[in-house]
Amino acid sequence: MKVNSQIFRGYDLRGLVDIDLNDEIVEHIGRAYGTFMKRRGIKELLVGRDSRASGVSYSKALIKGLTFAGADVIDIGMTLIGTFYWAQYFLKREGGVFVSASHNPPEYNGFKFANGFSETLVSDGMNELRRMVQEEDYEQSEVAGKVKTVDVKNDYFNDLLKRVPIKNKFRVVVDGSAATAGSLVPEILRRAGCDVVEYNCKVDSSFPLGVADPTSSKVIGRLSGEVVEAKADLGFNYDADGDRIGIVDEKGNIIWNDVLVSLFALDVLKEHPGATIMFNILCSKAVKETILEAGGKPFMWRVGHSFLKKKNLEVRAAFIGELSGHFFFSKDFHNHDDGIYATLRLLKYLSDTGLSLSKAVGQLSKYVSSPEIKIFCADEKKVDLMKKIGPVFRAEFPKAEVIDDERAGDGIRLELEDAMAVIRYSQNGPYLTIKFEAKTDKKYQELKKYLNTLLHNYKEINWSEKINLNTDALE
Rounded to whole angstroms, how far apart are CA atoms 150 and 152?
6
Please report the pLDDT score of residue 184 as a whole number: 97
Domain ranges of the chain: 5-151, 154-253, 257-339+349-362, 368-474
Answer whether 113's CB lies under 8 Å from 40's CB.
no
Q: Which CATH superfamily is domain 154-253 in?
A: Alpha-D-Glucose-1,6-Bisphosphate, subunit A, domain 3 (3.40.120.10)
Q: What are phi and psi of 275, to 5 degrees?
A: -70, 160
For the chain, the residue count is 475
298-339 pLDDT per residue, tens: 999 998 877 888 898 899 999 999 988 889 999 999 988 999
Select from 334, 337, 329 the least CA-distant residue to 305: 337
**pLDDT score for 428:** 76
How far apart (Å, rounded) are the C-alpha atoms in residues 464 and 466? 7
Is 102 considered catalytic here? Answer: yes
Do strands 147-149 and 72-78 pair parallel, antiparallel, or not at all (unpaired)? Answer: parallel
Dump strand ranges (E) for 205-294.
234-238, 245-249, 254-255, 276-280
Do 388 and 458 touch, CB atoms closer than 8 A? yes
Residues whose CB falls within 8 Å of the CB of residue 224, separated by 6 or more in sequence, listed in order: 235, 248, 252, 253, 254
Q: Give bridge partners of residue 438 from the DSSP assignment.
A: 368, 419
Report how far residue 43's alpha carbon sits from residue 195's, in angstroms, rounded to the nearest whole number.
Answer: 43
Domains 5-151 and 154-253 in one fold: yes
CATH architecture of 257-339+349-362: 3-Layer(aba) Sandwich (3.40)
Cβ neighbours of residue 186 closer than 8 Å, sequence gap 6 or more = 174, 176, 196, 198, 201
Top CATH class of 5-151 equals alpha beta
What's the CATH number of domain 368-474, 3.30.310.50, 3.90.1150.10, 3.40.1260.10, 3.40.50.1460? 3.30.310.50
Helix ranges (H only) for 206-255 are 217-230
Query: What's the rounded Cα separation, in Å, for the pair 346 and 406?
Result: 31
Contact present, 36 and 128 (Cβ < 8 Å): yes
Quick one: which H or E segment has residue 129?
A: helix 123-135
pLDDT of the residue at 20: 97
CB-neighbour burial class of residue 442 (10 A; exposed 0-12, middle 13-18, buried 19+)? exposed
**79 and 184 in contact (C-beta within 8 Å)?**
yes
Q: Which of 51, 54, 100, 102 is catalytic?
A: 102
Which residues of the chain are modeled with pLDDT < 50? none
